[in-house]
Structure 1
Amino acid sequence: MHVRHLSVADFRSYESAELPLSPGVSTLVGLNGQGKTNLVEAIGYVATLSSHRVAQDQPLVRFGAERAIVRAAVVREGREQVVELEITPGRANRAKLGRAPVPRPRDVLGTLRTVLFAPEDLALVKGDPEQRRRFLDDLLVQRQPRWAGVRADYDKIVRQRSALLKQAGGTMREGRGRGRRATRLPEGLEPDAAREDALRTLDIWDDNLATLGSQLLYARLRLLTDLVPHLADTYGAVSASSTDATARYRSSIPGPAGEALAEGFGSGEDVPTPDVLRGELLTAMGALRDQEIDRGVSLVGPHRDDVTLALGPMPAKGYASHGESWSFALGLRLAAYRLLQHDLQDDPVLILDDVFAELDSGRRERLAGLIGDCEQVIITAAVGEDVPSGLAGERFTVTTGQVSRESGEGVPAAGAEAVADE
């Protein structure tokens, strides 16, 4: 799999840009702020419908423009498909596959698969649980695009259930006469009756959350089971360390059931079935209901879980050195690459955004040795000399939003239809 051509219009700093690409290694060289990361961000967006830099779409649209267009010609097994995305903040984005519109943007997922490593990935080791949950869920979607729908539906259920918990909490405070924090009851509805009505509705949302939550939890556990053996290899290869890199799932399910998920994972035991996990989630929500109502949030479920990363017996967060943390984060991305490569029987596109400047010479050379035979590698660097000489390939210079080949020849701005018509 490789990207043959990228075309953007009104994306980030670019009014328009064309980037012809080939299999092998392509390096974009330019000082910080010149726009090289914007190009690889656009490629990553085609693959995942999200940015590795920002959570919202608004910053992706050039200032003063109404929308951004990203097109990529993707070649797999000799067949080319063109993906086009129209990004319009405040409105539903639109997508085309070939020249045909698709009902939902997520219908293009799976056409291009990428693994992107960037300086922001240090947060996988040092940051909040949200970063590690997103890593798992994004990899799930890359592996099987149908999880994008499950993930979106689950997030919607969590929001709706949390809103009902706040309503139920306000209803009970109204009954206890706690003044301004109380929720005003409908006319003619007594506090006790309103509370019973809210609790009955909560039962329905508990069931919905447990049903989808158990599917997502099961998928994450299976994913980690498959990922961790690759992680042990890739961390060791990058760091040249004999220390084992491991990852264990930490569930928000309290008590022995949640502890069993963490202890059982990685020891060869089978992942519990979705039905078993669904029962555990329902039990946990029942036990925590009073706390959830009092706080107005859903306290149990995949949205509250984490992954514990460790080097040997010590957790990586708080104990790993800066170099070890970089190696761990890079090891996670390379493990994801190997997993997708195994699943798809094809190489995803590997993107390394401003990575080599952060690595010492030993790690640079070891990384170069690991990725040199990938079908397509796209690298960004502020200084070309940071990229090991073993990663020979085409080079582009990026200067204030202009892209030129290393030879000095400009890349022609072939226009909005360039990708589709070439």
Structure 2
Amino acid sequence: MYLEHLSLTDFRSYAQVDLSLEPGPTVLVGANGIGKTNLMEALGYLATLSSHRVSSDAPLLRFGTDRALVRARLVRGEQATVLELEINAGKANRARINRSNPVRARDILGICRTVLFAPEDLSLVKGDPSHRRRFLDELLATLIPRHAATRSDYDRVLKQRNALLKSGRAGRFTSGHEATLDVWDQHMAKAGAELLHARLALLENIQPHLDHAYRQLTDGSKAALAVYRSSLVDLADDDATLGFSPGLPTGAQQEDLAHLSVEELTDRYVAAFAASRKREIERGISLVGPHRDDVELILGQAPAKGYASHGETWSLALSLRLASYYVMLDDGQIEGAAPILILDDVFAELDVQRRRRLAAIVAGAEQVLVTAAVDADIPPELSGRRVQVVSGGIDERG
């Protein structure tokens, strides 16, 4: 797959901008703060319906406007698809596929596939568990779009259940509340089991690619491992770490979850909710569920978080993105369905050796879009077309 044309209206700093592209590497060069990342962010948003920079849609709209438009013409094999996404302030976003009638934004998930590398990716290793959960869930929605609804359903049930638990914490918990909580437990157990089952299957597919990618980017002296830490396992009395203990995986319980069906995981959640009910009412929040889980990243024999060097942290973060790229390649059922690779201001953060290794890995992709402040940051392996980004637009140089 490659992006043939991108058009933005009232997106971030752009009142209007159009960019024509072609397969192979393209480097967008321009001063910091000029708008290079805004272009890449728009394409990434079209693929995942979320920004890698902000958690809400409001900053995506040009100041003073109430909507933004992202249009893209994508080519997959012999087929071209035009996607249009309308990002609205204060109401639901809408989309069009090949200029058809408007559909829900999430109906376009899976059509545009991208893998975006950015400085923010350090949070995948150094940040809190929400960053790693989001990594899994976004990749899930790209590979299997119905799982966007799975996550949405879980979040809706979690919100309702937490509201009920807060009532109990305030001293208003009655027998009626108890019966209602039983019902919400069933709903949350089913939604949580579906989400957990999908995450575990995805992580199993990611693991060999993660280790392979890390060895590609480094001298290969350490293995990279990702271990799912579920709040279903080893329920702890310690409120701060309820659900799992930090450190290396030691038992078979975490692995056991991967072999359970959705129905069996549902039963485990129901039992876990019952065991945790008193503490949950006391605290007014749900203490068990996929929203409390983490993916522990390990290099060699030590957890990466807190132990990895800066270079190792960068390599591991990049390896997670490369692993998602390889998983998408494995998944492609249609010729030309490889994802678009986006490297947003990444090379400036890497030493020369890692720059060249990363460039050599991605150079053969169908389309690679790179942003850089100066040409000197780009390794020769990615020599190709250059586009100059200037204030308010672009100046193509062939």
Q: How does the TM-score come out when normalised to structure 2?
A: 0.93
Distance 1:97 1:216, change over 3 A: same
Aligned: 1:195 with 2:174: yes
Distance 1:207 1:269, change over 3 A: closer
- Cα RMSD of the aligned pairs, angstroms, is 1.9
Alignment partner of 1:101: what SS?
Answer: coil
Structure 2, gaps ≥5 residues long:
237-242
Amino acid at match of 1:208: H
Aligned: 1:320 with 2:308: yes
In the other structure, the counterpart of 2:218 is 239
Alignment partner of 1:233: what SS?
Answer: helix
**C-alpha distance in structure 2 between counterparts of 1:122 and 1:309, whole Å:** 12
**C-alpha distance in structure 2 between counterparts of 1:19 and 1:387, whole Å:** 21
Deviation of 1:276 after TM superposition, in Å, equals: 1.5
Amino acid at match of 1:374: A
In the other structure, the counterpart of 2:394 is 403
**C-alpha distance in structure 2 between counterparts of 1:310 and 1:379, whole Å:** 29
Deviation of 1:65 after TM superposition, in Å, equals: 1.2
Aligned: 1:336 with 2:336: no
In the other structure, the counterpart of 2:103 is 103
**C-alpha distance in structure 2 between counterparts of 1:239 and 1:224, whole Å:** 22
Matches within 5 A, 1:78-117: 78-117=78-117
In the alignment, which of 378, 381, 386 is matched to residue 387 of structure 1? 378
In the other structure, the counterpart of 2:189 is 210
**C-alpha distance in structure 2 between counterparts of 1:396 and 1:215, whole Å:** 44
In the other structure, the counterpart of 2:239 is none
**C-alpha distance in structure 2 between counterparts of 1:267 and 1:104, whole Å:** 37
Deviation of 1:169 after TM superposition, in Å, equals: 2.4
Aligned: 1:58 with 2:49: no
- Contact 1:87-1:94 within 8 A present in 2 as well: yes
In the other structure, the counterpart of 1:13 is 13
In the other structure, the counterpart of 1:124 is 124
- Contact 2:359-2:379 within 8 A present in 1 as well: yes
**C-alpha distance in structure 1 between counterparts of 2:258 and 2:292, whole Å:** 23
**C-alpha distance in structure 2 between counterparts of 1:381 and 1:143, whole Å:** 29
Amino acid at match of 2:330: H
Amino acid at match of 1:69: L
Query: How many residue pairs are counted as aligned between the two chains?
Result: 386
Deviation of 1:369 after TM superposition, in Å, equals: 1.1
Q: Which has the larger radius of gyration?
A: 1
Alignment partner of 1:7: what SS?
Answer: strand
In the other structure, the counterpart of 1:373 is 364
Q: Which moved more, 1:342-351 or 1:70-79?
A: 342-351
Deviation of 1:372 after TM superposition, in Å, equals: 1.0
- Contact 2:47-2:109 within 8 A present in 1 as well: yes
Q: Which moved more, 1:198-207 or 1:271-280?
A: 271-280
Could you list the per-position Cα deviations for residues 314-342 of structure 1 after superposition, in whole angstroms to 9, with x for gaps in the alignment? 00000000000000000000000000111
Amino acid at match of 1:296: G
Deviation of 1:255 after TM superposition, in Å, equals: 2.0
Q: How does the TM-score come out when normalised to structure 1?
A: 0.88
**C-alpha distance in structure 1 between counterparts of 2:283 and 2:8, whole Å:** 45
Amino acid at match of 1:328: L
Distance 1:59 1:259, change over 3 A: closer
In the other structure, the counterpart of 1:177 is none
Amino acid at match of 1:168: G
User: Identity over aligned residues, as a percent?
Assistant: 52
Aligned: 1:139 with 2:139: yes
